[in-house]
Amino acid sequence: MKKDFDPRRLDVKSFAEAAGELEGHERLGDHPRLMAETGGRGADTRLAWSVTGEMRNPGHVHPEIWLHLTADTVLSLTCQRCLAPVDVAVAVERPFRFVQDEAAAMAEDDSSEEDLLALSRSFDLLELVEDELLMDLPVAPRHEVCPAPVKLAVADEGFEAEPEPRENPFALLQRLKTRKAE
Ligand SMILES: [Zn+2]
């Protein structure tokens, strides 16, 4: 019988035992920590994610519990060169192994190259998605080629369209004088 799994309250072990699969997409606006990075831009941008559960070595006394996560979205960050918004695609694809508790995760973490998390019956998968995307952000986002700064472009146009040189004030004065004398 197929079980329903809730990504906000995931029973990780059952999910792995069932070789569960979940996927979804949501609004960027529902992730306040990502929205803080964009300064509020792109609330309606789509954030897609998927996860599969895996029980490795299920006959063993201590079978390994794994989740394989993917997530991607596009964030409107601030270009560190021109300070204009720049769209940056962020994507993660990462496996996590779940161990008995936080202490076990801490103890094993140094010696393990795997990403370890503590097993939970009510795991917030979407929180993990947000964590991982935040970690994938570039330190100094930049346009490959910055768009021409808008203000400078306007000034250039103004320069080209500058009117004819004004009449020499002395010539003007001369003409006034002439007229007076008439
Ligand atoms: Zn730029």
Pairing of strands 64-78, 21-27: unpaired
CA dihedral over 151, 153, 159, 161, signed as positive or negative: negative
| Residues, the chain | 182
Q: Give the mean pLDDT of 84-90.
A: 96
Rounded to the nearest angstrom, the distance between the alpha carbon of 30 and the centre of ligand 1 is: 27
Residue with tokens 């700064």: 149
What's this model's pTM, rounded to 2 decimal places? 0.75
Report CA(13)–ligand 1 centroid distance (Å): 46
- pLDDT band with cut points at 50, 70 and 90 for residue 1: very low
Question: Phi, psi (5° rounding) for residue 14?
Answer: -60, -40
36 Cα: distance to centroid of ligand 1 (angstroms): 20
Q: How far apart are CA 40 and CA 28, in angstroms?
A: 10
Which residues have a beta carbon within 5 Å of ligand 1, which is an ion?
79, 81-82, 143, 146
Q: What is the pLDDT of residues 116-158, one digit of tens each?
A: 999 999 999 999 999 999 999 999 999 999 997 655 554 444 4
| Both tokens assigned to 39 | 């300064």
Cβ atoms of residues 72 and 48 within 8 Å: yes
Distance 25 CA to ligand 1 centre (A): 29
- According to the model, what pLDDT value does residue 165 have? 55
Mean pLDDT, residues 54-82: 93
28 or 161, which is more confident? 28
State the distance from the centre of ligand 1 to the C-alpha of 149, rounded, in angstroms.
9
As beta bridge partners, residue 54 has 66
